Amino acid sequence: MATKELREGFTTGACSAAAAKAATRVLILGQTIKEIETTLPNKRKVIFELKRCEISEDSAVCSIIKDAGDDPDCTHGAELTAEVKLNQENKIVLKGGEGVAVVTKAGLGLEIGEPAINPVPRKNITEMILEELIGSTFSGAEVTISVPGGQEMAKKTMNERLGLIGGISILGTTGIVKPYSTAAYKASVIQAIQVAREYGEQTITLTTGGKSEKFAMDLLPNMNEIAFIQVGDFIGTGIKTAIKEDIHHVVIVGMIGKLSKMADGVMMTHRGGSSVNTKMLANIARTLEIPETVCSSIEAANTARHVLDICKESGHFHITTRICEIVSQNCSKHGLGLRVSTYMVDFDGTLLGKFEAPEGWGIKGEAE
User: DSSP 3-state assignment of 348?
Assistant: coil
For helices 292-299 and 278-287, what crossing angle results, to 10°? 160
Q: What confidence score (pLDDT) does residue 68 get? A: 87
Q: What confidence score (pLDDT) does residue 2 get? A: 35
Separation of alpha carbons 15 and 135, rounded Å:
24
Q: What confidence score (pLDDT) does residue 149 get? A: 97
Q: What confidence score (pLDDT) does residue 152 get? A: 96
- The domains found in the chain, sorted by start residue, are 2-177 (3.30.2110.10), 200-355 (no CATH)
DSSP line for 50-83: -SEEEE-SS-EEEEEE---TTS--TTTT-EEEEE
pLDDT (tens, 9 = 90+) of the chain, 368 residues, equals 333 457 889 999 999 999 999 999 999 999 999 999 999 999 999 999 999 999 999 999 999 999 988 776 789 999 999 999 999 999 999 999 999 999 998 777 788 999 999 988 999 999 999 999 999 999 999 999 999 999 999 998 878 887 899 999 998 888 887 665 566 678 889 999 999 999 999 999 999 877 889 999 999 999 999 999 989 888 989 999 999 999 999 999 999 988 999 998 887 655 444 467 899 999 999 999 999 999 999 998 877 888 998 999 999 999 999 999 999 998 887 766 789 999 999 878 899 999 998 887 655 444 33
CA torsion sign for 46, 49, 51, 56 is positive
Separation of alpha carbons 22 and 83, rounded Å:
10
Query: Do 94 and 115 touch, CB atoms closer than 8 A?
Result: yes
Separation of alpha carbons 277 and 261, rounded Å:
7
Q: Sort strands 228-230 and 203-207 into parallel, antiparallel or unpaired.
A: parallel
Strands (E), 137-265: 140-146, 164-165, 167-168, 176-177, 203-207, 228-230, 249-254
Q: What confidence score (pLDDT) does residue 276 get? A: 77
For helices 183-198 and 235-244, what crossing angle results, to 10°? 30
> What's the pLDDT tens digit per position in 200-249?
999 999 998 778 899 999 999 999 999 999 898 889 899 999 999 999 99
Separation of alpha carbons 176 and 121, rounded Å:
12
Q: What confidence score (pLDDT) does residue 69 get? A: 85
Of 234, 230, 188, 196, which Cα lies nearest the Cα of 12?
188
